[in-house]
A and B are shown apart, each in its own frame.
Chain A
Amino acid sequence: MDFTVVADNFGYFMLGAWPAGPLGGAALTLLLSLASALASGALGLVLGVGLSMLDGAPRRALFLFLAFFRAVPVIMLIFWTYFLLPILFGVGVPGVATVVVALSLIGGAYLAHSVHAGILSLPAGQWQAGMALGMGRWQVMRLVVLPQALPVMVPSFINQWVALVKDTSLAYVIGVGELSFVATQVSNREMVYPTEIFLFVAFVYYLLCVALERAAFAVGRRYAAPAR
């Protein structure tokens, strides 16, 4: 194994053609991940609370919406948004935005169900106690249920975000220059070092995911309910 190929192209792996060209490589992977993590988290929280609070037709509509985005493969959503929207509706979505939107919608749909399950995990007594104190349903949700349920959901959020970091590599299908895409370019030019290059790429994804997990746990512990 000869890792000089990694050392020689380290800058390109980290930043792509930046600053002469667009930002790419690991930096773009990080940006795509952060943007989609925030958006999918917010979306998951809102829709998960919606699942718990809505009734009747709106709830069924929400279920269908979530079922659709949980069933569509990420790569297909990216490909279709990028190539099909311009043809059908004349709307051109840039590559980077396409990836963030696709990952946020799909990640948000998964997280909505995690949030819903977290809310359901609390005993009904919590709701009844809140109501008995004269609170409305939304007040109980905000003041009693969510503060207890959210820390329980942290592992689910981390799971989803770790999956999301790795799914950013699917951006290659529309030519967005994130880490795995630029690594492929280098590998295709150098021809004989795929093992070294992709071992390094795997290691960078590992570092990103571990960092994310550590950070999320630290935040989760800070806001967790005090141990009883």
Chain B
Amino acid sequence: MKKTYLASLLILAVASGAAQADRLDDIKKAGVLRVAAFDSNPPFGFVDAKTKRIVGLDVDYAQELAKKLNVKLELVPTNPANRIPLLTANKVDVVLANFTITEERAKQVNFSIPYFASGQQFLAKKGTLSSPDQLGKLRIGVDKGTTNEIVLREKYPSATLVAYDDTPFAFTALRNGNVQAITQDGPKLVGLLANVPDKEKYEIPPFSISDDLIGAGIPKGEARLTAFVSETLVELEANGRAQQIYDAWFGPNSKTPLKRIFRIGDGKK
């Protein structure tokens, strides 16, 4: 499985970059905006039990984009590892799936300006983990194809890493004692823990080992579409909609209250 992914990604990376017609025009002509979103990561993207549709913070942003373009929104479920292939294979127009902006990824896809910020944190059974110094000695569950995996390997090479398809799988491994901790972006872990019935047994130790900015992924070279997404994000912050979206999922009355530390347009770099 892993080899399949790696081999395929390699070929995708080599084969990508072919010139295409302007995607923004294509979207308007088709009347459909195809967005890849997580289907298993509350509150960013998950299947709502009642409506059976994918909902979440990322999906709200996708809806705003479709609304502004005046087109229909089509959501494509994705896991972390499929995000870049979906873009390079022209299966989606935009990826809104807690996608950390990195230089390495920017070689294969375009990124909008960031709309969310987080740091890489850990989730463990209470009393297992209190300081980053312990990480080197632990078995840690990571999600395949995430920056978390790469950062952890670089900073703590002596840690034993076990890669899973998605965060809930990693959490199941943690529950069953296959790993001693799992790592992901802090807000994603908070969102995960909120849905665990026996959450008092677990904790997210208050340290992080990276600062990540989250942006929308767009096919490489689509400058107009990238500019459109970035402009829309700035507008959403200016008219207060971005704050509304944040509050709906992370506000004081939500399941996962979390102080908003980042506003769209902050710390341009």
Interface residues in A58-99 (C-beta closer than 8 Å to B): 73, 75-76, 79-80, 82-84, 86-88, 92
Residues of A participating in the B interface, judged by any CB pair closer than 8 Å: 8-9, 12, 16-17, 20-21, 73, 75-76, 79-80, 82-84, 86-88, 92, 174-175, 177, 182, 184-192, 194
Contact A83 B168 (CB under 8 A): no
Known interface pairs A87-B88, A189-B47. Does A17 touch B52 (Cβ–Cβ under 8 Å)? Answer: yes
Pairs A–B under 8 Å by Cβ, sample size 23: A17-B53, A20-B53, A73-B4, A75-B4, A83-B12, A83-B86, A83-B91, A84-B8, A87-B12, A87-B16, A92-B89, A174-B82, A175-B76, A182-B47, A188-B39, A188-B46, A189-B40, A190-B195, A191-B171, A191-B192, A191-B195, A192-B197, A192-B198
Contact A191 B168 (CB under 8 A): yes
- B261 contacts the other chain (Cβ, under 8 Å)? no
Contact B40 A185 (CB under 8 A): yes
Contact B49 A8 (CB under 8 A): yes
Contact B40 A188 (CB under 8 A): yes
Residues of B participating in the A interface, judged by any CB pair closer than 8 Å: 1, 4-5, 8, 11-12, 15-16, 18, 39-42, 46-47, 49, 51-53, 76-79, 82, 85-86, 88-91, 166-169, 171-172, 175, 192, 195-198
Q: Which of chain B's residues has its CB closest to A75's CB? A: B4
Q: Hey, which chain B residues are within 8 Å of A9, CB to CB?
A: 49
Cα–Cα, bound, A54→B53 (Å)? 52
Q: Hey, which chain A residues are within 8 Å of B77, CB to CB?
A: 175, 177, 185
Cα–Cα, bound, A87→B5 (Å)? 16
Q: Determine chain B's interface SS by DSSP, over half rule.
A: mixed
Contact A86 B89 (CB under 8 A): yes
With A83-B89, A84-B12, A87-B12 given, can you name 14 additional A-B contacts, CB distance below 8 Å?
A12-B52, A16-B52, A75-B1, A76-B4, A76-B8, A82-B89, A82-B91, A87-B15, A88-B15, A175-B78, A189-B40, A189-B49, A192-B198, A194-B172
Cα–Cα, bound, A74→B168 (Å)? 25
Residue of A174, A185, A191 touching B39 (CB-CB under 8 A): A185
B107 to chain A, nearest CB (A): 16
Cα–Cα, bound, A49→B18 (Å)? 43
Q: Determine chain A's interface SS by DSSP, over half rule.
A: helix
B252 to chain A, nearest CB (A): 23
Q: Which of chain B's residues has its CB closest to A80's CB? A: B8
Q: Hey, which chain A residues are within 8 Å of B91, CB to CB?
A: 82-83, 86, 92
Cα–Cα, bound, A20→B172 (Å)? 31
Cα–Cα, bound, A82→B91 (Å)? 9
Contact B47 A185 (CB under 8 A): yes
Cα–Cα, bound, A188→B172 (Å)? 9
Residue of B5, B46, B53, B82 touching A175 (CB-CB under 8 A): B82
Contact A187 B168 (CB under 8 A): yes
Q: Hey, which chain B residues are within 8 Å of A16, CB to CB?
A: 52
Contact B47 A186 (CB under 8 A): yes
Q: Which of chain A's residues has its CB closest to B192's CB? A: A191
Q: Hey, which chain B residues are within 8 Å of A20, CB to CB?
A: 51-53
Q: Hey, which chain B residues are within 8 Å of A175, CB to CB?
A: 76-79, 82
Known interface pairs A73-B4, A187-B168. Does A21 touch B52 (Cβ–Cβ under 8 Å)? Answer: yes
Q: Hey, which chain B residues are within 8 Å of A191, CB to CB?
A: 168, 171, 192, 195-197
Q: Hey, which chain A residues are within 8 Å of B52, CB to CB?
A: 12, 16-17, 20-21
